[in-house]
Chain A
Amino acid sequence: MAERSFKEEVKKLRAGDGERFQGEGILAITKALLQSGVSYVGGYQGSPISHLMDVLNDAQDILGELGVHFEASGSEATAAAMLSASINYPLRGAVTWKSTVGTNVASDALSNIASSGVTGGAMVIVGEDYGEGSSIMQERSYAFAMKAQMWLLDPRPNLTSIVDMVEKGFELSEASNTPIFYMMRIRGCHVTGEFVARDNREPQFSDRAPVTPHREPEKIILPPNVYAQEREKIAQRLPAAIEFIKANKLNEVFPGRHEHLGIITCGGSYNTVIRALQRQGLSDVYGNTDIPIYVLNVAYPLIPEELVDFCVGKEQVLVLEEGQPEYIEQGIQTALRRADFQTRVFGKDIMPMAGEYTGQVMLLGITRFIEASSGPEIELLSSAEEVAALETPLVEEDQQALLDNVPPRPSGLCTGCPERPLFSAVKQVQEELGPFHISSDIGCHSFATLAPFNLGNTIMGYGLSLASSSSVRHALPHKAISIMGDGGFWHNGLTSGVASAVFNHHDGLLIVVDNGYSAATGGQDIPSLVEPNIIASTIDADAPRRDDYQSIEEACRGAGVKWIRTVSTYNIEAMKNTLHEALTSSLPGLKVVVAEGECMLNRQRRVKPMMKSAIASGKRIHRSRFYVDPQTCTGDHGCIRLSGCPSLTIKDNPDPLRTDPVSYVDNSCVGCGVCGENAHSAVLCPSFSQVDLVYNPNSFDRAKDTLRQRVIAWFRRRDEQRMEAASL
């Protein structure tokens, strides 16, 4: 069950011809796929296209009605390999993932399909995770498009253009027998807007209309076919693509009255360009511009003829291309020089090489361009100097004061997260056996590398922690430690990690964080399930049931692991002992600890409604949460340094003698019990209590409670009298 449900929104996917469709970019893409008559869809979740997978998952009814086949692929490589269906048959299909990381994983299959060529339209929707809000290293997908020769679409970020370009993209793919990258930027994925819908189309082939199997041996990627395929790319597919792009006007030219200037931009940046021009009085809000603009909705390949046409009569053009290297700018230079055009091309010489083209960057760049290229005939509303000053109105002293007074908010584990007690345990074991070198991985557990845990040295990729420890293990004073999530384990950790480690007699420790979901990407299901935790709060609902689950432990045993233990993360003592044993054991071979604890976000989504209905139906249950006694807390916050739970915070000290804030558990506490476990296992302090609220108490509860209240009240009166007598 994913974090966000689109059950309501997917109903919009049934919209027919002429209906106004309102929604998010991701939903619009899904609708466009259905309008294009896709036969299969797949992918692997990851920001910013996680919701695309969630939408597809929630839209299975509609997909089924149309005969569209959907798979939640095991990895991006799995998804990319799905595209092979379009090699021999006119089957349209689309897969999606986070790029560039997903593209890297998928690259083997992608290169091969790009070489074979396709008959049916094949599209990869890449969520370009670049710029603010990104969670990965900063690279462009563009390089991959160039080297494998796949076309790269980068449409203007309004829903009408987004939807049209999906449909045109399939046609382009089929016209040029080439698979396509369809690039969505972070903000474009989440943009809301509207477009006019068309009817959905049933795919030509599906489970109700099967294909006739046939072979095209020349499309198999063996020599000598591969040489022919490369020649075909250049001789046939590229010219066909250029012809299609020109004929269908996929790129757009917006004329303007200052014809000696021009701006060449990728579609994805078009809105930012218009806003910058508008702020300089050179465009209105409808995009009626004074400076001619050539919009590359197809970022690759470039169309030399269109470029040359655009530059006729232009003295200077500005190329707006996010990120580096500046492939498009280089391509434009080549095209113009070959045509012997002398138009001056500005680009990365006045624009930043690295980083996003935000509103401010764009405004400053365009202002500089116009100031550098034009005489006084173009009057700007603000000079480059004035634009640069917009960056901040703050005087330096105030800037410094803000630096000191705006606390950073690094990513961290959620309230009640099962990984918190695991890392508390690792931290405590480290105090005894450390310091540790730890190979970390991708997932929520990556945040253990940040405060307050500060555990982990390297992150090499999804499911690659164990693999990356293999080169350092011989040089460590302790057994190598790798931490991997269940998502990473199934993605490729089982093969590139576990199988390889066993084969190479790796005798280190692998901790598999088993929370039951691909949690960091929004809580999607994965092959394995997790047993419900035994934690402080009661409603320990049944496990999320699925008959067809695959077991991590069995998979490890199958791969040859002999030493394997499954431990609940919430049992810090047991976890410490198990880790200690694994790290000090003299037995040879890989030690695997499956650290089990259901993702708390998913658990809460499951348990909260059950809790509510149980209370409403009069069932006797209790709900736990934790409490810090402000009278015994001395305010050293050691508990926070060991936990970092969002609900374990601080508040002003109610004791007028004390000045430092006390620790405090707020009402978002879900009663996972880690505070108590830590208080015990780290011998912290006697300030933590678990408070259980009893709902629908029975008569025995009430009788006990009344008796207690009476006795305590009697003592209270006596205490109060004594205190009164002894007071000042």
Chain B
Amino acid sequence: MSDSSRAINMVIAALGGEGGGVLTNWLIAVADQEGWLCQTTSLAGVAQRTGATIYYLEFIPRPEDGSQPVLSLFPSQGDIDIAVASEIAEAGRMLSRGFVSPEQTTLIASTHRVYGITEKSATGDGTIDPAMLSEMCARYARRFIQFDMLELVGRHNTVVSAALFGAIAGSEVLPFARETFERIIGEGRGADANRAAFNEAWDRAQSGGVGLFDPNDKGDSSGFVLPDAHTAQGRVLIERMRALPVMCHEVVYRGASRLIDYQDLAYAEDYLFLVEKLATALDSAGSVALTEAARYLALWMAFEDIPRVAQLKVRPDRQQAIRDEVRAEPEQPIRVTEFFHPRVEEIAAMLPKRFGERLLASETARSGLGRLLGPRKLRTDRLSVYLIMRVLARLRRFRRGTLGYAEERGMIDRWFGAVLWASARDPELALELAECGRMVKGYGATRARTTSRLMRILDTVDREAEVSPARIRQLREAAMEGEDSAPFEGALNQALA
């Protein structure tokens, strides 16, 4: 395609820190060595690191008579031969800006995600659907080369630009020899890692991107089979689970296991009893409601009080998980400082109910204790702290008598009672109420806010005789809009009017 009458046009969208500038310089150097001219320009905007930088490149054979071609500085709809996106949502943005033409554009994208602030800051799950973007890119691009380049470069310990460079070369839209690309890599720092990433990306681009998108593959884990029991007590419980609809097996099994770890076998039996009760009330049309109710029941019953947090902080596999995450060398010592901020409420919650109530009722006791509490940094890698944590974790055996347990259990019973009540009327209503369990999140004031909103939804259920599933969904979604109470209050009042 060395047509000297028209430039080959390329647009690259890269996020900050992904080496878009380096990639552009590499491409200029390749063109130069191949006897081509390459004009580039970029829109970097301000110095901040959160936005996408757009690079635009035009390539044309260097005229022998020294004349200067006139190249454009703007990427233009309908005039792009290669569009490159370092992340899949940016590929979607290319599409939406019209830089991908079905008859002309080869689109190269890494399928990994870099989440935007709106996705990150949602109270629940605000993430977009990348599979849908991949599907659309495949439909509109002349060719679509896609694979997870972040994973690839992670293995080679380099940055995404090296994989993009390989994919651009491997797509062979630019009529340049592979050796020229490789030679350019050889001149920089970290060349070996880059070359390895380049080679692998080249191969994958050649095969059109590996694992071509299959819209039916949603990574479903529906193949769960209840395992055989390890213990005698387990046998009894697992037999009881087998009587439940298959759909909820995984959740109930994991939920029961969680609660044994959280408290004891009796607690898990308690849980299973509630799930069975709901299963009886719901017919087979209610399996989804049953599963979701079982999920949130288990999570709520394993509520995070001080003993639970302490237990999680000393769990056996934690140390290794941290070491892996921070990429510590095998023998490298690490220190782990936890940020705790226990309030009087949390202390009261772990006291026997009567004492806890008395503590909360007494201003003197509250302020006295309050002075001792407050923000604490604790080094859990220190033996002393580790041992204190273990002692706190052991306090869980007294949990059933605590004030915290009484309060949580009261709310759990109220919510679960509502689900049970609804199951007799309408499985859809039961499902919406079950999903409300998802609202129970956070610690301290956040936790108080989320649970109190849930209780107010249950008040509405009590008050509005003909409450509909849509109404519950509306309230739940408004309640999950974050700290600001206006959307939730608005939704509550809407129906009153």
Q: Interface of A with B (CB < 8 Å)?
A: 3, 47, 132-133, 135, 157-158, 160, 186-188, 190-193, 270-272, 274-275, 278-279, 284-287, 358-360, 363, 387, 390-394, 398-399, 401-415, 444, 447, 451-452, 519-523, 573, 601, 622, 625, 627, 629, 631-632, 634-638, 640-641, 644, 646, 648-650, 656-661, 667-668, 676, 679-681, 683-686, 688-695, 697, 701-702, 704-705, 707-708, 711-712, 715-716, 719-720, 723-728
Contacts and interface: CB of A to CB of B under 8 A. Distances in A.
B280 to A, nearest CB: 22
A684 B446 contact: yes
27 contacts: A158-B70, A192-B41, A272-B72, A272-B74, A279-B79, A285-B5, A358-B74, A359-B72, A402-B95, A405-B133, A412-B48, A452-B121, A520-B46, A522-B47, A632-B309, A637-B123, A638-B482, A649-B120, A656-B254, A668-B17, A680-B375, A685-B444, A686-B340, A691-B334, A692-B334, A712-B319, A728-B237
A38 to B, nearest CB: 26
Contacts of B70: 158, 270-271, 274-275, 285-287
A407 to B, nearest CB: 3
Interface string B45-70: 11111111010100010010001111
Given A191-B40, A402-B92, A727-B260, A657 B128 contact: no
B325 interface: yes
A313 to B, nearest CB: 25
B68 A286 contact: yes
Given A405-B132, A629-B318, 9 more contacts: A409-B117, A412-B117, A644-B117, A646-B49, A683-B341, A685-B444, A691-B326, A727-B234, A728-B256
A409 B52 contact: yes
Contacts of A47: 44-46
A712 B335 contact: no
A695 B327 CA distance: 13
Nearest to A599: B47
Contacts of B68: 158, 160, 286
Nearest to B310: A686
A-B interface, 10 closest residue pairs, ranked by CB to CB distance from nearest: A359-B76, A407-B116, A728-B234, A133-B43, A390-B78, A680-B375, A636-B441, A275-B72, A359-B74, A187-B73
Given A520-B47, A661-B125, A451 B118 contact: yes
Interface in B219-264: 221, 229-231, 233-234, 237-238, 250-251, 253-258, 260-261, 264
Contacts of B326: 625, 627, 667, 691, 693
B475 interface: no
B231 A686 contact: no
Given A414-B49, A712-B319, A632 B39 contact: no
Nearest to B227: A728
A692 to B, nearest CB: 4
Interface stretch (B98-106, B348-356, B409-417, B458-466): B98-106
B89 A405 contact: yes
B210 interface: no
A407 B118 contact: yes
B292 to A, nearest CB: 9
A498 B98 CA distance: 49
Interface residues of B, number: 136
A393 B315 CA distance: 54
Contacts of B441: 634-636, 660
Contacts of B48: 411-414, 444, 447, 520
A653 B441 CA distance: 14
Contacts of A627: 322, 325-326, 336
B101 A683 contact: no
Contacts of A360: 76-78, 98
Contacts of A658: 299
Interface of B: 4-7, 15-17, 28, 38-52, 54, 56, 60, 63, 67-79, 89, 92-93, 95-96, 98, 100-102, 114-125, 127-129, 132-133, 136, 140, 221, 229-231, 233-234, 237-238, 250-251, 253-258, 260-261, 264-265, 268, 295, 298-299, 304, 309, 312-316, 318-319, 322, 325-328, 332-341, 343, 375, 377, 380-383, 386, 390, 438, 440-446, 450, 482-483
A399 B92 CA distance: 10
A694 B335 contact: yes
A702 B333 contact: yes
Contact of B339 (A404, A523, A679): A679
A702 B54 CA distance: 49
Contacts of A409: 15, 50-52, 116-117
A728 B235 CA distance: 7
Contacts of A657: 251, 254-255, 258, 295, 298-299
A278 B4 CA distance: 13
Given A274-B70, A410-B117, A285 B6 contact: yes
A523 B48 CA distance: 11
A711 B7 CA distance: 68
Nearest to A273: B70
A451 B74 contact: no
A284 B46 contact: no
Contacts of A415: 49
B383 A708 contact: yes
A3 B56 CA distance: 22
